[in-house]
Amino acid sequence: MSGSDSVRPVLGLTTYLQQAQTGVWDVRASFLPAIYLDGVSRAGGIAALLPPQPVDDGIADRLLAGLDGLIITGGRDVMPASYGQRPHPATDEDLADNRMRDALEFALVRGAMRRGMPLLGICRGAQVLNVALGGTLHQHLPDVVGHTHHQQGNAVFSTSSVRTVPGTRLAALIGESSDAQCYHHQAIDRLGEGLVVGARDADGVIEAVEIPGDTFVLAVQWHPEERLDDLRLFAGVVAAAADYATERLGA
């Protein structure tokens, strides 16, 4: 019997930290769009939010100790100092809250990989995974591909056709190709250690990466939460997290 038949796993999802408005309030807040939570719950998991906060590897391990899987979500640009570059004019401002989120997510990625915990990266999450493993990013894709299709602005997602690499975990999950909802002006450049490309788009831009092997470590540059009629990526990480939980709990 697989873990997904016996355990409903808890997956931690990282969150934003920035100024936010709600009703009469205009406050610094940690938050995450609810569609991420819907993706996890519809796939059979339990969602737990992980707000940016001061962190070291010990704190990250304490957070991970109560989880069965990890999702690094979308958000602002990874600070380029973390991969040895100066900021591009189009890169998000280097703010303390952005650095705090980077530090937390890098520590969580390191901790999850030490534990063999399933991990799914979404958009920014793919970039975080790549940088955490020593890779670099293209800071502004229009400089590379010559157009703004990947991020048209004004919160309008564009649809890109991505083709998977045969033999990858991603190909096994979603098949040869998929229409992806994209909103990113950055992308993976040099791959981090141990990562392989899982998909590219028509421009040759890396749209997914993964680590081969038994542990589910997969990240996509697009936003699967924007298409909850297709739960295959969420179902994949939830099933892996259920198996992880079953083994961890001795069920």
- Rounded to an integer, the average pLDDT of 194-219 is 96
Evaluate whether 36 touches 93 at the Cβ level (below 8 Å): no
pLDDT of 246 > 70? The answer is yes
150, 184, 185, 223: the active-site residue: 223
**Which among 216, 210, 48, 192 is positioned nearest to 116, based on CA atoms?**
216
Tens digit of pLDDT for each residue in 32-86? 999 999 999 999 999 999 999 999 999 999 999 999 999 999 999 999 999 999 9
Check if 223 is active-site.
yes
In a domain, 2, yes or no: no
Check if 123 is active-site.
yes
Give me the domain span that covers residue 48: 10-250
Q: What does pTM read for this prediction?
A: 0.93
123, 138, 184, 226: the active-site residue: 123
In a domain, 5, yes or no: no
Q: How many structural domains comprise the chain?
A: 1
Task: Write down the pLDDT at residue 2.
Answer: 43
Q: What CATH number does residue 75 fall under?
A: 3.40.50.880
In a domain, 152, yes or no: yes
Check if 185 is active-site.
no
105, 207, 210, 225: the active-site residue: 225
In a domain, 56, yes or no: yes
Distance between first and last Cα of the chain: 11
Task: Write down the pLDDT at residue 234.
Answer: 98
Tell me how far apart the alpha carbons of residues 96 and 154 are, in angstroms, rounded to a whole number. 25
The 3-state secondary structure of 89-118 reads CCCCCCCHHHHHHHHHHHHHHHHHHHHCCC
- Rounded to an integer, the average pLDDT of 192-217 is 96
In a domain, 111, yes or no: yes
Strand partners, 199: 164, 208
Tens digit of pLDDT for each residue in 114-161? 999 999 999 999 999 999 999 999 998 888 876 755 666 656 667 778
Other CB atoms within 10 Å distance of the CB of residue 122:
26
Task: Write down the pLDDT at residue 182.
Answer: 78
**DSSP conformation letters of the chain:** --GGGT---EEEEE-EEEEEEETTEEEEEEE--HHHHHHHHHTT-EEEEE------HHHHHHHHHT-SEEEE---SPPPGGGGT-PPPTTSPP--HHHHHHHHHHHHHHHHHHHHT--EEEETHHHHHHHHHTT--EES-THHHHSS-TT--STT--EEEEEEEPTTSHHHHHH-SEEEEEE--S-EE-SPPTT-EEEEEETT--EEEEE--SSS-EEEESS-GGG-TT--HHHHHHHHHHHHHHHHHHT-
In a domain, 70, yes or no: yes
Task: Write down the pLDDT at residue 146.
Answer: 67
In a domain, 4, yes or no: no
